[in-house]
Amino acid sequence: MQIARTVRELRDWLDGRRAAFVPTMGALHEGHLALIRHAESLGEPVVVSIFVNPTQFGPNEDFSRYPRTLETDLAACEEIGADLVFTPAAEEIYPPGQPPMEIALPPVATEPGLEDAHRPGHFRGVCQVVARLFDLVEPAVAIFGEKDYQQLLVIRAMVKQEQPRWQGLTVTGLPTVRDPDGLAMSSRNRYLDPEQRDRALGLARALQAAHAAQKPDTAEAIMIETLRAHDLAIDYAVVRDSETLMPVGDFSRPTRALIAARLDDVRLIDNQAMTVWT
């Protein structure tokens, strides 16, 4: 496995080849490893990036304490068979004197009541860093997890609207990986003490309890009740159209239940596809 710390090293290694690309912020867990395994199955060189992107964190968020476990992450990538890990400094991604390129946010990024309402500017930072990484890696396929479902839709929409900038790029989403008790794997789970982790199970339990509901408003009420029973502060617990994230009145087309909740100073998200009733 090779390690590239600069853009020059990355490009020299790629030498015009198109890769299967897994962008991460490190603190790797089994969810990330599932993405890398899928990348390996595609028959392309596998590139993993590890970069904690400052532009997607708000002023009162957890950038300074976000888990940074580079040596452990590199060992995991080597063991699983990644071909190259790109671990740039911020100056490689955002060269001094060059402001980050602005990307027009797709409508799905600012759909009312979701991430933009609680983390203003977050998706602007996500689009900046992902666009920069796509420009540098020029991948054939980029692989993300569905756990960050709105992010996945934002990136797909960004790629579509920016064509032909990343000609031929496919953005693939893989299902959320969960611990045996149902908790969605997240780098931020490392923040949780045992009592908080028990409460965090409220997200998965809320989704499970809402799954059999036959109306979106019933599902939302069930999720809210379950989250409150676990003493979670709710940012949102909603059912939305699976493609546009707009509100829906029934389950006649594919929908997604989405949750964001806080345990003290830890914010977690989760989601699931809902049953289509015809």
What is the Cα Rg of the chain in Å? 19
The DSSP bridge partners found for residue 141 are 20, 170
CB-count burial class (<10 Å; 0-12, 13-18, 19+) for 63:
middle
Residue 32 contacts residue 22 (beta carbons within 8 Å): yes
Active-site option among 29, 32, 118, 230: 32
CA–CA separation, 7 and 126 (whole Å): 19
Q: Is cis: bond before 120, omega within 30 of 0?
A: no
Q: Is the dihedral of CA 144, 147, 151, 157 positive or negative?
A: positive
Residue 142 contacts residue 134 (beta carbons within 8 Å): yes
CA–CA separation, 189 and 253 (whole Å): 33
122 annotated active-site: no
CA dist 123 to 35, 101, 231, 272, Å? Answer: 21, 13, 28, 21
Query: Which tokens sit at 17?
Result: 């080849």
The CA angle 228-60-90, to the nearest 5 degrees, is 125
CA–CA separation, 218 and 231 (whole Å): 20
Residue 80: CB atoms within 10 A of its CB come to: 18
User: Which residue numbers are catalytic?
Assistant: 32
